[in-house]
Amino acid sequence: MKTMKNHMKVEFDSYSGNESFARITVAAFLCCLNPTVEELEDIKTAVSEAVTNSIIHGYGNQVGTVTMECEIDGDEVIVAVSDEGVGIVDIGKAMEPLYTTRPDLERSGMGFAFMEAFMDTLEVTSAPMEGCLVRMKKKIGVPLHERYNCLD
């Protein structure tokens, strides 16, 4: 058996219609791991939050490129979403639940809180005018030998 490593990377324009594209893509990539419905929903929610943030906050009314990378490393899933948008001034504050800079767009300030709740780890790298990178990890619970392995 080959080692359980796999990787993918996609780029797409920052249109809101691409939010579902990102969720479907990551779900399709992970399906060979046989994740539970709940694990898959957790990852889809976290991806949706990160991608939506890049579209709304990173690029605003501009159209830019959102990059989504996903890696499978054994029983761990690593997802990275990045943009080259306006970036974040104060990351600590941005990550506080209910904190939002766009109440006018009816944002609730729960995006980062959801990413934290649904994934095991969350890392945010950003600086003003230097874009934003969100890296999240999650261990998938089902033992390896019970899984159908797409990498064989």
Partner 1 sequence: MDDFQVINSYLCIRMPKELDHHKAIRIREMADRYIEGQHIEFVVFDFEDTSFMDSSGIGVIMGRYKKIQILGGRVLAVHVSDRIRRIFRLSGLHKIVEIVEDEE
Ligand X SMILES: Nc1ncnc2c1ncn2[C@@H]1O[C@H](COP(=O)(O)OP(=O)(O)OP(=O)(O)O)[C@@H](O)[C@H]1O
Q: Which residues bind partner 1 (CB under 8 A)?
A: 16-17, 19-20, 23, 38, 41, 44-45, 48-49, 52, 55-56, 105-108, 110-111, 113-114, 117
Residue selected from 14, 18, 48, 53 as contacting Mg ion according to rule CB under 5 A: 53
- By the rule CB under 6 A, 129 interacts with ligand X: no
- With CB under 5 to 8 Å by kind, the binding choice for 149 among partner 1, Mg ion, ligand X, none is none
- By the rule CB under 6 A, 119 interacts with ligand X: no
In order, the DSSP letters of the chain are ---SEEEEEEEEE--TTHHHHHHHHHHHHHGGG---HHHHHHHHHHHHHHHHHIIIIIITTS--EEEEEEEEETTEEEEEEEE-SS--S-HHHHTSTT--S-GGGT--S-HHHHHHHHSSEEEEEE-TTS-EEEEEEEE--S-GGGS--TT-
Q: What residues make contact with Mg ion under the rule CB under 5 A?
A: 53, 111
